[in-house]
Structure 1
């Protein structure tokens, strides 16, 4: 997956894909049970975005928009997505600063936290 993308986020989402295949990942899908779409732009939200779907119902990460309607869609710049996913930026702060835009269910969006990502040290 990461080989076709220049985004740092793609590498993180690649790790997420592997994580979802583990027992911890399977627990995550049972706990969260939402489908998220990520529109990630290299420099500016809305321009040249790459779309990824993290399906926490089926436990998979795919490149491209999800089939049907996602529970929540997030838009990020690549570097901001990496900061939020690695816990270096608080998701609420990212949203308030305009570094993250959300469409769809806010209650679903609130379950998307840095905790769902595998920690790099465990890889």
Structure 2
């Protein structure tokens, strides 16, 4: 699979590319067994809902792809680029992000609660 993050204006794209590579590792395979959910991420450069790039983190098949999911996701999140990075790297608590409006959720809240910084590989350098 080619690098799907080229041409992206998002800083999050680098983390999502690392996540895609992480899925092929043993740790990634454990994660798939543990979580088994499909998340769609709508990430906007500056304002939620504007110029969003859409990524799917499929923790059933173990894939990260760019573009909307075909079918029904377990949960869909909307973020600004910086807020997604803060949540994914553990700098912002996901519940606080939601309460502050930095993260919007559609779909199953129980599935959304499994969306934690633990599912992301520790970034080498972003």
Give the alignment's TM-score, normalised by structure 2. Answer: 0.94
Asked if the contact 2:10–2:81 (Cα under 8 Å) also holds between the matched residues in 1, the reply is: yes
- How far off is 1:4 after superposition? 1.9
State the superposition RMSD in angstroms.
1.0
**Quick one: distance in 1 between partners of 2:123 and 2:48?**
26
Specify the alignment match of 1:47 in structure 2: 50
Specify the alignment match of 2:82 in structure 1: 79
Q: Any gaps of 5 or more consecutive residues in structure 2?
A: none
- How far off is 1:121 after superposition? 4.0
1:78-97 to 2 correspondences below 5 Å: 78-97=81-100
Q: Any gaps of 5 or more consecutive residues in structure 1?
A: none
**Quick one: distance in 2 between partners of 1:120 and 1:59?**
18
Other structure's SS at 2:87 match: helix
Which consecutive aligned stretches of 4+ in structure 1 deviate over 4 angstroms post-superposition?
none
Asked if the contact 2:15–2:123 (Cα under 8 Å) also holds between the matched residues in 1, the reply is: no
Is 1:27 matched with 2:30? Answer: yes
